[in-house]
């Protein structure tokens, strides 16, 4: 029997690193994951932890790498591409879908090499100047600050979209149109059949999107303080793979996907830990 897949939310890595999850308890979690799951690393979780590292002082650089160590620790890890790329490959079989970084690497290869370089680097400056790639005659340079600015830009577009819904300038999401928007973002023609397949397979993400749209109409909803909602929405894209499970400490993921069957594969940490006893 093939084991299911599992990836961590950002909050799991942070709380395991800072001791809010007791070390003995975390060892039980790791053991269970190693036995029962195939471990994956979400591009979103990696991105958010890199952003956290970028915004921290160099004086705390080594300490701030703790969550990244947690993320990388499980053996036989598999790096996932950007969520929409993953969905296009998995749902529509478009293997050519992908993003290429400035260094010419795909998300998956780039993620592993840059994460290892960040863990080896003694400072942000040294990482920007270049760190040798293990077992290769290559130097890999990574500007954390530039990455943070670039990768978080879509959050601003999401905020503008929600603001438009609040003001009545933008229509609330409709499943097929929402799926068509995803295809267009990758330069693909939004054929009706593809839109329908994608909308069904990304059910949890669509439900999450609808939930955010409803919240946008609440005048008390502050787009800036909820900037991380964009990353949360992207996380559940990976649930288009029926084998994929998502471990998080944030119950809002369940609340915002109430009408999705994929919701059952969102594993809340406080419930998951009971299975390790």
Q: Would the pLDDT of 137 be above 70? A: no
DSSP 174: -
Question: 19-33, 110-124, 126-140: which range is least confident on average?
Answer: 126-140
Task: Tell if the pTM clears 0.85, that is, is over it.
Answer: yes
**pLDDT tens track for 199-234:** 999 999 999 988 888 876 666 666 566 667 778 989
Smallest Cα–Cα separation from 71: which of 105, 39, 117, 96? 39
In this predicted structure, the answer to whether residue 39 has a pLDDT above a threshold of 90 is yes
Span 42-49, average pLDDT: 95
C-alpha 71/C-alpha 40 separation (Å) is 9
Please provide the DSSP assignment of 69-127 as one string: HHHH-SSS-EE---HHHHHHHHHH--TT---B-TTS-BHHHHHHHHHHHHHH-SSHHHH
**CA pair distance 254, 266, nearest whole angstrom:** 7
- CB 94, CB 122: distance < 8 Å: no
Q: How high is the pLDDT of residue 104?
A: 75
pLDDT band with cut points at 50, 70 and 90 for residue 155: low
């Amino acid at each position: 029997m093939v084991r299911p897949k599992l990836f961590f939310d950002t909050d799991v890595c942070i709380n395991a690193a800072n001791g809010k999850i007791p070390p003995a308890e975390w060892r039980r979690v790791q053991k269970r994951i190693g036995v029962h799951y195939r471990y994956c690393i979400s591009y979103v979780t990696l991105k958010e932890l890199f952003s956290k590292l970028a915004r921290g002082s160099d004086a705390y650089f080594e300490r701030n790498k703790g969550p990244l160590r947690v993320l990388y620790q499980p053996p036989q890890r598999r790096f996932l591409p950007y969520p929409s790329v993953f969905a296009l490959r998995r749902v529509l079989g478009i293997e050519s879908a992908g993003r290429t970084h400035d260094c010419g690497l795909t998300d998956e290869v780039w993620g592993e090499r840059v994460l290892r370089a960040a863990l080896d680097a003694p400072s942000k400056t040294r990482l920007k100047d270049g760190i040798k790639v293990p077992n290769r005659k290559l130097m890999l340079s990574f500007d954390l600050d530039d990455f943070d600015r670039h990768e978080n830009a879509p959050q601003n577009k999401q905020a503008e979209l929600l603001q438009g819904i609040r003001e009545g300038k933008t229509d609330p999401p409709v499943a097929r149109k929402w799926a068509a928007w995803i295809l267009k973002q990758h330069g693909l023609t939004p054929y009706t059949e593809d839109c329908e397949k994608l909308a069904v397979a990304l059910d949890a993400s669509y439900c999450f999107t609808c939930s955010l749209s409803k919240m946008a109409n609440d005048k008390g909803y502050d787009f800036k303080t909820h900037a991380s909602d964009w990353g949360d929405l992207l996380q559940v894209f990976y649930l288009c793979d029926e084998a994929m499970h998502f471990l998080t400490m944030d119950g809002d993921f369940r609340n915002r996907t109430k009408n999705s069957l994929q919701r059952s594969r969102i594993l809340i940490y406080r419930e998951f830990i009971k299975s390790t006893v």
